[in-house]
Amino acid sequence: MIQQNKIIGHTDQINILKSNYEKNFPHAWIFNGIKGIGKYSTAINFIRSVSNKKLNHEQYLFEINLDDNLALIEDIRNIINQAHLTNANKNEKCFILIDNSDSLNFNSYNALLKTIEEPPENTVLIIICHNLNKIPKTIQSRCMRLDFSPLSKIQINEFCLNNKIMTNEFDLEKNYNLFNGSIEKFLLFTSEEGKFVRKYLNGLNRKNRLSITEFETFYERVSKNYEKYFEIIINYLFAFQKRKYIKHYKNKLLLKKILFFFSNIEILSKQNLNIEKKKELYFLLSEYVKTSTNE
């Protein structure tokens, strides 16, 4: 993903952090908001800004549970121990940054809770979460919560200008509901993979059946990078169904079909079945076609 050198939006959040830093800075924070809107970038930029005169400030920053390296309980314990050992300089704050915290397991949360209750001296813990409901209440109650809002269409446009991203083929006004202010999702939908998926699913929505031949061709393409394609497909289907639900709220039969679609997907995800990817995708698209409105 493109890294933000300049933070788009979140001015209030940055001001809250900087003003509190000059006073009695809380030792534990929760950065809450949907994934891909700049919570991590805001945290990194804030840490750099308060350490801008210290060339070695990175040795006082510990990051864990990033997208490409999800953490286990031992990783949590190791990072906490390192913070204890490193923080010998009483004049230097040490930062522990935990991303994707809503994906941690029970034991990891317990280790975090103990650290929050008995933090290393002069250490700040920043917990980044995308779904607050998954964070135990015991942890929430002991942290300062900072909420982040999705980016507006104007802010997404600003991001595109700053990063020289062309949006000629992607109508931000029309497609905003697909990514709802998340830069991460926006980049998914505007990628080559995203364009291919949108074209296929838009065509599928205008039909009342799933063509086996067309599905085979579609699957052959997406199977080469299934995880990324599947993420785009899921995001598209959920966003599109939500928009369809709002648009056709008087059509009781269609609403029942859409609710049934979400119910089936929820059951599928909760059961965590070891289903062949091809069958999984076919089931998903078959259920989606049943809610077709010929839009």
Would you state the structure tokens that stand for residue 204, as one six-digit string? 């599928």
DSSP state of 9: S
**DSSP letters along 34-76, please?**
-TTSSHHHHHHHHHHHHTTT-TTGGGGEEEESBTTB---HHHH
Q: Look at residue 21 in the predicted model and tell me its pLDDT.
A: 87
Enumerate the domain spans of the chain. 11-147, 191-289
Instruction: Give the pLDDT mean for 155-160.
Output: 90
Beta strands of the chain (E only): which ranges?
28-32, 61-64, 94-98, 123-129, 144-147
pLDDT over threshold 60, residue 143: yes
Dump pLDDT digits (tens) for 89-111.
566 788 889 988 888 888 888 88
Q: How confident is the model over 179-202, as pLDDT tens digits?
A: 888 998 899 888 899 999 989 998
pLDDT attached to residue 213: 92
Query: DSSP letters along 214-247, please?
Result: HHHHHHHHHGGGHHHHHHHHHHHHHHHHHHHHHH
Partners of 97 in the beta sheet?
A: 63, 126
Q: Which residue has the higher pLDDT, 116 or 1?
A: 116
- In this predicted structure, what is the pLDDT of residue 85? 63
Has residue 269 got a pLDDT over 90?
no
User: pLDDT per residue over 56-102, tens digit each?
Assistant: 556 678 887 766 556 666 777 777 776 666 655 566 788 889 988 88
* Per-residue pLDDT reduced to its tens digit, 3-55: 555 788 899 999 999 988 877 889 999 999 999 999 999 999 898 888 765 55
How confident is the model at residue 1, as a pLDDT?
Answer: 45
Looking at domain 11-147, its CATH superfamily turns out to be P-loop containing nucleotide triphosphate hydrolases (3.40.50.300)
- Residue pLDDT, tens place only, 208-255: 788 899 999 999 999 989 988 988 898 888 888 887 788 888 888 888
Query: How high is the pLDDT of residue 56?
Result: 58
207 vs 20: which has the higher pLDDT = 20
